[in-house]
Structure 1
Amino acid sequence: MTVSISLSTASVYPESTAHAFGYAASLGYDAIEVMVGIDSLSQQKTAVGQLSEHHGLPVVAVHAPCLLFTQRVWGTEPWGKLERSAEMAAELGASTVVVHPPFRWQKEYAAGFVDGIAALEVSTGIAFAVENMYPWRASSRPRVSKAMEMYVPGWDPSEESYAHMTLDLSHASIAGSDVIAMADRMGKRLKHVHLTDGVGTAKDEHLVPGRGTTGAADFLAHLAAARFDGQIVVEINTRRCTTRAEREADLRESLEFARAHFAVPAR
């Protein structure tokens, strides 16, 4: 069994989607996840397809624009964003759309979200892998900072009936979740992994895997032993890198970490 190690285009921000393909190709990543965002190229399926063909890198997933700073990308109607994400995925040959649960102020969207996701999977043939999020809090010290539930029906998709799910290690770190236990709750519904790390603060750190406290190495070994056959995508934050060489080093370290620790045991 071979599981590809892909790079999320979000990992090179503030550089562009085009730069992400370049890094991934030069470093030896197997594929790409496209984060649809404020980079206009990321919103254009034809342009992304040309990058994929030029670099010989398939697109395995499209991350729908559902972050706070992408609220106006592809309009403001949330179902429309998901439909366009599925169209892009189909055009590029990607099997997965990654989506966050609704914010609690998106009341109408949230009310029909679980059933709506199931209906979209049937109508599009694309897997919508709902991502784990986290409670919001102002401080990294849980005892002095009250957590706020900002997602509906909730931040933990394993508690819902979604057919496909994404597990993000940085988000799990903020929530204080045991990533192996969460993976076990998701079971075969776990389709997509955002490989990263965190140290349990209130900030979404997206560290290079192995630099945090989530137990990323043990998590990958657990997935390998369970014969996980989904998608592993490196999604790290390199905004603090001051040079291209620094960014490249973090991306290389992440890829090497993934390949070293996701080792499927022989039968």
Structure 2
Amino acid sequence: MKTGMFTCGHQRLPLEQAFKDAHELGYDGIEIWGGRPHAFAPDLKAGDIRQVKELARVYQLPIIGYTPETNAYPYNMMIGSERMRHESLDMIMLAMDMAREMGAGFTLISAAHAGYLATPAEIWPRLVDNLRELSAYAENIGIDLLLEPLTPYESNVVCSANDVLRVLEAVPSPRLHGMVDICAPFVQGEPITSYFDKLGERLRHVHIVDSDGASDSHYIPGEGKIPLAPLMRELTARGYDGYCTLELVTLYMNEPRLYAALALDRFQALMAG
């Protein structure tokens, strides 16, 4: 399996530092976080895309995917007025344009919290409408769109393998796929491998983290409770050979290079064992 670094953990440093660290530490690719100051989609459109493409060329790192910030600050396609919904969709479509231009393998989004007063009768049609519009755009420009489930601490919309499966059945676009951040199933007692069982070839990507089992916190491998060694053996036995992004987000921002190195060392030890 190939490894990816997520640039979110480097957000208090220049984006080039993330590329430099990923290259020097031995990551196979890089997943670009789409927030400021690194790679906010409107900033890319205004000209910053040239820097991202140049960094990928200089450091010889494939861009695995582009992950715009879609969890409510300020964009959340699942909450607010119709104007807010359309603004969120417009931003995601722009992110898909930028992902395509930077040569990213996919654009990754999530369905953030719909609000405590939203009912299932309101949530589901809005989700399907959103993903139909986005998938149609993805088909038109030729980019894959990945939907990430979140933990129940983060969202009340798409949190389980069944949620992702239901979406893929309702929106049967060849450009819409699922993925799994293994924290999400672990904290709610869902087998991580159920994503592979249920989604099959429509599971396109994996975020590897560790978890305390009681929060949405993302820990480096070995610092939580997920049985990662047998899990990785299971994924290998199932034939998964795609990228695994070691998704360190904000917990280790004080020393992103050191923790990215430690995460990679531990992941490689898991694979070797």
Q: TM-score, normalised by structure 1?
A: 0.79
Q: Which residue of the partner structure matches residue 24 of structure 1?
A: 22
SS of the residue aligned with 1:212? coil
Mapping of 1:100-139 within 5 angstroms?
100-105=110-115, 109-136=126-153
Residue 179 in structure 1 maps to residue 192 in structure 2: yes
SS of the residue aligned with 1:112? helix
Residue 257 in structure 1 maps to residue 257 in structure 2: no
Structure 2 vs 1, CA of residues 32 and 66 (structure 1 numbering), >3 Å: closer, same or farther? same
Mapping of 1:50-69 within 5 angstroms?
50-69=54-73
Letter in structure 2 aligned against 1:236:
L
CA displacement 1:219-249 (0-9 Å, x = unmatched):
222221111133211111454464x4xx333
Q: Which residue of the partner structure matches residue 158 of structure 1?
A: 165
Q: Which residue of the partner structure matches residue 224 of structure 2?
A: 212
SS of the residue aligned with 1:24? helix
SS of the residue aligned with 1:22? helix
In the alignment, structure 1 segments of 5+ residues that lack a partner are 138-148
Cα distance in 2 for partners of 1:55, 1:23 equals 10
1:111 is displaced (CA, Å) by: 4.5
Query: Contact between 2:219 and 2:251, CA under 8 Å: does it hold in 1?
Result: no
1:109 is displaced (CA, Å) by: 4.8
SS of the residue aligned with 2:22? helix
Query: Contact between 1:7 and 1:33, CA under 8 Å: does it hold in 2?
Result: yes
Q: TM-score, normalised by structure 2?
A: 0.78
Letter in structure 1 aligned against 2:248:
I
Q: Which residue of the partner structure matches residue 142 of structure 1?
A: none
Runs of 4+ residues deviating >6 angstroms: none
In the alignment, structure 2 segments of 5+ residues that lack a partner are 77-82, 116-121
Letter in structure 2 aligned against 1:24:
A
Cα distance in 2 for partners of 1:188, 1:262 equals 22
Query: Contact between 2:33 and 2:39, CA under 8 Å: does it hold in 1?
Result: no
Cα distance in 1 for partners of 2:133, 2:271 equals 34
Query: Contact between 1:41 and 1:47, CA under 8 Å: does it hold in 2?
Result: no
CA displacement 1:181-236 (0-9 Å, x = unmatched):
2332222111111111111123x211002322222222222221111133211111
Query: Contact between 2:3 and 2:27, CA under 8 Å: does it hold in 1?
Result: yes
Residue 221 in structure 1 maps to residue 248 in structure 2: no
1:62 is displaced (CA, Å) by: 0.3
Query: Contact between 2:178 and 2:203, CA under 8 Å: does it hold in 1?
Result: yes
| CA RMSD across the alignment | 2.7
Determine what percentage of the aligned residue pairs are the same residue. 22
Letter in structure 2 aligned against 1:211:
E
Letter in structure 2 aligned against 1:95:
G
SS of the residue aligned with 1:167? strand
Cα distance in 2 for partners of 1:207, 1:40 equals 23
Of the structure 1 ranges 101-110 and 188-197, higher mean CA displacement relative to structure 2 is found in 101-110
Pick aligned residue for 1:8 from 3, 6, 24: 6
Structure 2 vs 1, CA of residues 102 and 136 (structure 1 numbering), >3 Å: closer, same or farther? closer
Residue 71 in structure 1 maps to residue 75 in structure 2: yes
1:63 is displaced (CA, Å) by: 0.4
Q: Which residue of the partner structure matches residue 79 of structure 2?
A: none
1:12 is displaced (CA, Å) by: 2.6
Cα distance in 1 for partners of 2:134, 2:227 equals 31
SS of the residue aligned with 2:95? helix
Cα distance in 2 for partners of 1:83, 1:241 equals 29
Query: Contact between 2:56 and 2:63, CA under 8 Å: does it hold in 1?
Result: yes
CA displacement 1:80-126 (0-9 Å, x = unmatched):
12211211111111121111024325968525034234323321221
